Chain A
Amino acid sequence: MIKKTFLALGLLAIALGLQAQSLSESVSFRLNKEGGVYQEGETVKIWADVKSVPADEITFAMFEYGDKPEKLSKTVKLKAGENLVFEGKYDQPTHFVCKLSNGKDNSYNPKEIVKVGFIVSPESFSPGFTAPVDLDEFWAKEIAGMRKMPIESKVITDKSDSKYTIQDVEVNCVGPSPLKGYIAGRGTPIVPADPSAVIDTSLYINPIPTGLVLTGIVVSVSVTAFFLSLTVRLYEDYNTVRIDEILIKIHAKEEKKAKGVHEE
């Protein structure tokens, strides 16, 4: 019994250890072009070197994102010391994503996704939607929409590169909680993360109609239950559920009473 427990604890410790080491740390990627940006028609070559493997083997899934949303091009299982060579020629703008998993299951941890290179061709690049006719009007509308949202922006400055300063802008919605009901862009008003963010009540879903409907349902259910129980009792008393027969019986009883025959 004790042995089994220790064994289980040991396995647990190993499992935790596996969790701790990131897969992407144990793999290094090399490209045949510095910077990883290719022109159309250039040959793309990617090496993935496995330095050390936390699990027995790593499953590589190489995805291409081109004109189609997602294309799985290669799945390879590698052990420590082995490497993967990925090669191809592309005419379309494409980028490559390598998803790593420890081979036991096919689920990919979002942290273990590595972007490894992309092909640009400015001529044929399209952002996925048609350009607006009047840009001023488009941006005015977008900005008005953004201003309505209670947001908080944060600038994160990264000076890792000596030549450039990279600024990352993080935008968070601070007003309504993320539980949104069914109206796009609107949240419940009861618990805003920041009470001072309640500026414009038009932003919120009003919970009262929902409350009204729910209360109506509760009331109708309880009333129905009451009516049914009364009906059962009336049936027990008068052996019928026909209201006219019941009324006749009650009436007959009252007449009896009026004549002086009292029930006791």
Chain B
Amino acid sequence: MSFVCNAPALSILLLILAGVICMPLKERAAQAVCSFAILACLTLSAWLFIYFARGGEAFTYQMGHYGAPFGNELRAGILEAGLAFVFCLVCILSLMGGRKHLQDDIPSSKMNLYYISIIFLLCSMLALDYTNDLFTAYVFIEINTLTACAVVAAKDNGYTHAATMSYLIMSLVGSGLFLIGVCIIYGITGHLLMEPIHQVLMALPAGSPYITACYGAVALFAAGLSLKSALWPFSYWLPAAHGSASGTSSAVLSGLVLKAYILTLIKIAYRVIGLEMIKASPIADVILVMGACAMVVGSVYAMFEKDIKIMLAYSSVGQIGYIFCAIGMGSKAGMVAAIIQIIVHAFTKSMLFLSASNFIEGSGKRDYRDMHGLAAADPLSAVAYGVGALSMIGIPLFAGFATKYSLVGAAIGLTGWRQPVAVAAIIISTVLTAVYYIRVVAVLFSISGHPVKKHLDTMEGKIALSVLIVSNFIIGLSIDGLTSVIEHGLQTF
């Protein structure tokens, strides 16, 4: 086993350490520690990704060398390494792009606490990415919940506090459901590690009453995690929380946090229950229908919303619907589409939130109709928003096309009533998405302009937005490569 195999454990431990170190530090020092830790994790996951890309085999990493029945395990393959890379990259870019807003929203004396929250948030996401143990997943889901709520509440006003309250309550209901699911699975199998659970479940005789209980547990996992990742109709908390938070917080929450839960669900579907069992149960169909509804309903809500950030938050509801719809297809192609959408949406939505925050700062208004001609004042943000919008619609060359392409491909492979439902949802949602994004872009690039209040020209923010724009194109141009990497990753998942 080469040294790079320590990367998963090291990156998690490094982030925990960095979080503790930040505790007594002042703003600048905490910022440096935070950036260093995230960059180190970025490097580690890139290194791990290269190791797998050169033919390294997926491995199980035993924490402290304790074996299967008692020990705790991490598992890494090319998919986990790639997603960890995406998580770290989007996180650092969101921090860079939103630093200006953070400094306005959060008092400098409390800035280190914000960095601690971000560090632990990323730490919990990486742990959810790498872990091979259901209960470890639960613990990090709780850490994720608490830090995500802290990140929302950091913008210290009444509205965010109320939003955090509802976010926290809904999140805790979700993790409670997840915990009950873990308890049922543990009661049936006596294991918490994913592979031993799978073995025990496979050994259950057909018609055993435990299989029904097991479906109950799967339903609880699905309900809990979809509640936390805001699948419609459990999404009422999302617009307030994501829309009212500071720019970086919105970008990280919408771009990454929701995805970490979905990734956990995919992991459970693959490693714990097995795709065959999921397909044989009605749960997959329920997820498919709810995802399809979310795609349409989220877009409809976004159409009627005037607040630019809340509109983006509703758009997230719709985009999460795409992921769940793809998972609900229960096929390999569907899973590939879901993971492509996770990656694409992480890059695109964080870019949209960052540029929207810049517009709010520049115009002093939250209503997109008050943003006429902002493109002249802040061209880079406007271009970023335009690229994000076109990507969301699914225009070729942009990242979003990868999602639409793979999703439609997966939908065509469906049988029975599922095929028309999925295809119709994709078409309706795409049209609606086009309507509400294009009108904002049109306003931004209109000629009649309002006077701009503030100019945002920090170098850091510009670099972040440029990198996000470039990566959007890179993803859009490398659909085949992305698909083959994900397919390879899922084979060894």
* Chain A contact residues, CB within 8 Å of chain B: 189-190, 201, 206-208, 211-212, 215-216, 219, 222-223, 226-227, 230, 233-234, 237-238, 246-247, 249-250, 253, 257-258, 262, 264
Determine whether the beta carbon of B186 is less than 8 Å from that of A233: no
Determine whether the beta carbon of A230 is less than 8 Å from that of B158: no
* Chain B contact residues, CB within 8 Å of chain A: 66, 69-70, 135, 138-139, 142, 146, 149-150, 153, 156-159, 161-162, 164-165, 168, 172, 179, 183, 186, 190, 192, 306, 364-366
Determine whether the beta carbon of B164 is less than 8 Å from that of A230: yes
Q: Which residues of A contact B149 (CB under 8 A)?
A: 226
Q: Which residue of B lies closest to A226 (CB)?
A: B146
Determine whether the beta carbon of A230 is less than 8 Å from that of B192: no
Q: Which residue of A lies closest to B365 (CB)?
A: A262
Q: Which residues of A contact B164 (CB under 8 A)?
A: 230
Determine whether the beta carbon of B158 is less than 8 Å from that of A189: no
Inter-chain CA distance A190–B139, complex, in Å, is: 21
Given known A-B contacts A216-B179, A262-B365, A230 and B159 have beta carbons under 8 A apart: no
Determine whether the beta carbon of B70 is less than 8 Å from that of A189: yes
Q: Which of A201, A223, A237 is the one whose CB lies under 8 Å from B146?
A: A223
Q: Which residues of A contact B66 (CB under 8 A)?
A: 190
Q: How far is the CB of A185 from chain B (nearest CB, A)?
A: 19
Q: Which residue of B lies closest to A201 (CB)?
A: B69
Q: Which residue of A lies closest to B66 (CB)?
A: A190
Determine whether the beta carbon of A246 is less than 8 Å from that of B162: yes
Q: Which of A211, A212, A262 is the one whose CB lies under 8 Å from B364?
A: A262
Inter-chain CA distance A233–B135, complex, in Å, is: 32
Q: How far is the CB of B196 from chain A (nearest CB, A)?
A: 12
Residue of B66, B153, B161, B365 with most partner-chain A CB within 10 A: B161
Given known A-B contacts A216-B179, A250-B158, A230 and B135 have beta carbons under 8 A apart: no
Inter-chain CA distance A201–B142, complex, in Å, is: 31
Determine whether the beta carbon of B168 is less than 8 Å from that of A237: no
Closest 7 CB pairs of A and B: A237-B158, A233-B161, A219-B142, A234-B161, A230-B165, A250-B162, A189-B70
Given known A-B contacts A237-B157, A250-B159, A190 and B168 have beta carbons under 8 A apart: no
Q: How far is the CB of B237 from chain A (nearest CB, A)?
A: 14
Q: Which residue of B lies closest to A206 (CB)?
A: B190
Determine whether the beta carbon of A212 is less than 8 Å from that of B135: yes
Determine whether the beta carbon of B135 is less than 8 Å from that of A215: yes
Q: Which residues of B contact A264 (CB under 8 A)?
A: 364
Q: How far is the CB of B128 from chain A (nearest CB, A)?
A: 16
Determine whether the beta carbon of A234 is less than 8 Å from that of B158: yes
Q: How far is the CB of A255 from chain B (nearest CB, A)?
A: 13
A211-B135, A219-B139 known, 13 other contacts, Cβ within 8 Å:
A215-B138, A215-B139, A223-B142, A226-B150, A230-B165, A233-B153, A234-B158, A237-B157, A246-B162, A250-B158, A253-B159, A257-B366, A262-B364
Determine whether the beta carbon of A212 is less than 8 Å from that of B183: yes
Q: How far is the CB of B68 from chain A (nearest CB, A)?
A: 11
Q: Which residues of A contact B158 (CB under 8 A)?
A: 234, 237-238, 246, 249-250
Determine whether the beta carbon of A234 is less than 8 Å from that of B162: yes
Q: How far is the CB of A42 from chain B (nearest CB, A)?
A: 60
Inter-chain CA distance A262–B371, complex, in Å, is: 14
Q: How far is the CB of B165 from chain A (nearest CB, A)?
A: 6
Q: Which residues of B contact A246 (CB under 8 A)?
A: 158, 162
Determine whether the beta carbon of B364 is less than 8 Å from that of A222: no
Q: Which residues of B contact A227 (CB under 8 A)?
A: 165, 168
Inter-chain CA distance A253–B160, complex, in Å, is: 13
Inter-chain CA distance A237–B159, complex, in Å, is: 9
Inter-chain CA distance A10–B472, complex, in Å, is: 83
Q: Which residue of A lies closest to B179 (CB)?
A: A216
Q: Which residues of A contact B165 (CB under 8 A)?
A: 227, 230, 234
Q: How far is the CB of A150 from chain B (nearest CB, A)?
A: 17
Q: Which residues of B contact A234 (CB under 8 A)?
A: 158, 161-162, 165
Determine whether the beta carbon of A208 is less than 8 Å from that of B146: no
Q: How far is the CB of B428 from chain A (nearest CB, A)?
A: 28
Q: Which residues of B contact A226 (CB under 8 A)?
A: 146, 149-150, 168
Inter-chain CA distance A190–B162, complex, in Å, is: 45
Inter-chain CA distance A201–B191, complex, in Å, is: 13
Q: Which residue of B lies closest to A190 (CB)?
A: B70
Q: How far is the CB of A6 from chain B (nearest CB, A)?
A: 48
Q: How far is the CB of A197 from chain B (nearest CB, A)?
A: 14
Q: Which residue of A lies closest to B158 (CB)?
A: A237
Q: Which residues of B contact A247 (CB under 8 A)?
A: 162
A-B contact pairs, 6 of them (CB 8 A): A208-B186, A216-B179, A234-B158, A234-B162, A262-B364, A262-B365
Inter-chain CA distance A83–B149, complex, in Å, is: 81
Q: Which residues of B contact A206 (CB under 8 A)?
A: 190
Inter-chain CA distance A258–B150, complex, in Å, is: 28
Q: How far is the CB of A48 from chain B (nearest CB, A)?
A: 56
Determine whether the beta carbon of A223 is less than 8 Å from that of B135: no
Inter-chain CA distance A208–B157, complex, in Å, is: 41
Q: How far is the CB of B209 from chain A (nearest CB, A)?
A: 22
Q: How far is the CB of A151 from chain B (nearest CB, A)?
A: 22
Q: Which residue of B lies closest to A195 (CB)?
A: B67
Given known A-B contacts A189-B70, A262-B364, A230 and B161 have beta carbons under 8 A apart: yes
Q: Which residues of B contact A233 (CB under 8 A)?
A: 153, 156, 161
Determine whether the beta carbon of B146 is less than 8 Å from that of A230: no
Determine whether the beta carbon of B146 is less than 8 Å from that of A222: yes
Q: How far is the CB of A219 from chain B (nearest CB, A)?
A: 5
Determine whether the beta carbon of A230 is less than 8 Å from that of B142: no
Q: Which residue of A lies closest to B135 (CB)?
A: A212
Residue of B66, B158, B164, B192 with most partner-chain A CB within 10 A: B158
Q: How far is the CB of A259 from chain B (nearest CB, A)?
A: 11
Inter-chain CA distance A189–B66, complex, in Å, is: 11
Q: How far is the CB of B178 from chain A (nearest CB, A)?
A: 12
Q: How far is the CB of B366 from chain A (nearest CB, A)?
A: 8
Q: Which residues of B contact A237 (CB under 8 A)?
A: 157-158, 161
Inter-chain CA distance A222–B139, complex, in Å, is: 12
Inter-chain CA distance A249–B69, complex, in Å, is: 54
Inter-chain CA distance A185–B98, complex, in Å, is: 59
